[in-house]
Amino acid sequence: MNGAWHRFRSAALLLARSGTVKERLQSAYRLHLADLDSTQLPAEIRGNFEALRGALTREKPMRGEDAVTASIRKLSSREVDDLAAGLIEMFASFSQLEDLEPLHPAAATASSTVKAQIVPLFALEARS
C-alpha cells in the first residue's frame, strides 16, 4: 500500500503545478494512476478510485486519441474540478490509515527524538 501512497502523492503534486486543470488531471492520472491495480488500495479509497477511473475512461476516443484524452476533452470545468478535488481527497485519506510506513525509516526515529522549541515572539514585546 505504501507504493499506492507514493503514486497518489506524485499525482497530487502534479495537480499543484501550472497549466490548466484538465492538463494537470490528465497528466496526474496518466503518469501516476492509470496502471494502478485498485485491489492494492485500501477499501476506503477503492470505490472512489474506481469512480475516478470510470470518469476518465468513459468516452469513446476519436481517431488519434485514447479514452482518457477523449473523456477529459468532454468533461466540463466543474466536473474536472470535482475529479481533481476527489483525487486530493483520496490522497488525504491515506493519512488516516494506520498501516502506512514512513517514507524513510530513519525519519520516524528522528522525528520522535527531536523536540521543537516554540518561542512566542510577542513575549519580547511585553518586556519593553
Domain ranges of the chain: 2-127
The Cα 59–Cα 114 span in angstroms is 52
pLDDT of 111 reads 46
Amino acid residing at 122: F
State which residues of the chain have pLDDT below 70. Answer: 1, 98-128
pLDDT of 124 reads 53
pLDDT of 80 reads 97
The Cα 10–Cα 31 span in angstroms is 9
pLDDT of 22 reads 97
pLDDT of 123 reads 53
Inter-residue contact 91 to 4 (CB < 8 Å): no
pLDDT of 11 reads 96
pLDDT of 116 reads 55
